[in-house]
Structure 1
Amino acid sequence: MRLLIPAAILLGSTVTAFALTPSQTTILKPYVSSAQPGFTPSAERGRAFFFANHGGGKADTPACTSCHTTDLKKPGQTRAGKAIDPMAPSVVPTRYSDAAEVDKWFRRNCKDVLGRECTAEEKADALVFLFGL
């Protein structure tokens, strides 16, 4: 069964709906379930979160784009110089196929960027934004 998320939520448009893959639904569901009652993921909030400069984390990683760049269909690079696959599942279809892997990277990257773990809402918003790339 595929979860349909209205495009208004994902893309800021009411023209179409975005169907999550079964893997994406599996990845997203625990974050939405853990969020505040009535929460609906927003790609617009996810995009704003991903591109924002945050305080509290490491000085050399104030934003997700510090390593992932602003073109999420292209490779990024860690501060140590290691290549990072593009974030867009349209470029790397297996990008969000392992829930444990997604959770591991949220845990590490949120601490580096924010100085804390991301909330369930922040994770869900970021994911619906990234799924739509």
Structure 2
Amino acid sequence: MSFAASPQDLLTAYEAKSAKAVPARGEKFFNAKHGKEWSCASCHDSLPNHETKHIVTGKVIQALSPSRNSARFSDPAKVEKWFKRNCNDVLGRECEAQEKADVLSWLMTVK
């Protein structure tokens, strides 16, 4: 069962499992390739504050920045589903809580 959350609620939960998030580290992580072909920015753009298209499928991806898309990071189950799927594509593994915290903290600053 999912419940409504805010990006800050999720960030707090990730930080409880790691250390304090660092937005600059999240931005670097988001834009870097990690030994795989794609980065997060491959599909979401380096400044994810607008609609983009998936690099392979061409499917529309709504803005990732919570300030531009209030539905983002409001359903913890969906957040975990997409982190799991996308981290596997980018890293070849699931993201750690620290990585999620850093990326989310940066996304919360993107206007």
User: What's the TM-score once normalised by structure 2's chain length?
Assistant: 0.87
Q: C-alpha displacement at 1:25, in angstroms?
A: 2.4
Please name the residue that 1:86 is paired with: 63
Q: Which has the larger radius of gyration?
A: 1
Q: Runs of 5+ in structure 2 lacking a partner?
A: none
- After superposition, residues 1-133 of structure 1 pair within 5 angstroms as 23-35=6-18, 39-55=19-35, 57=36, 59=37, 62-78=38-54, 79-133=56-110
Counterpart of 2:70, as a letter, is P
Q: Runs of 5+ in structure 1 lacking a partner?
A: 1-21
Give the number of equivalent residue pairs: 105
Query: Cα RMSD (Å) of the superposition?
Result: 1.3
Please name the residue that 1:9 is paired with: none
Q: Matched residues, percent identical? A: 42
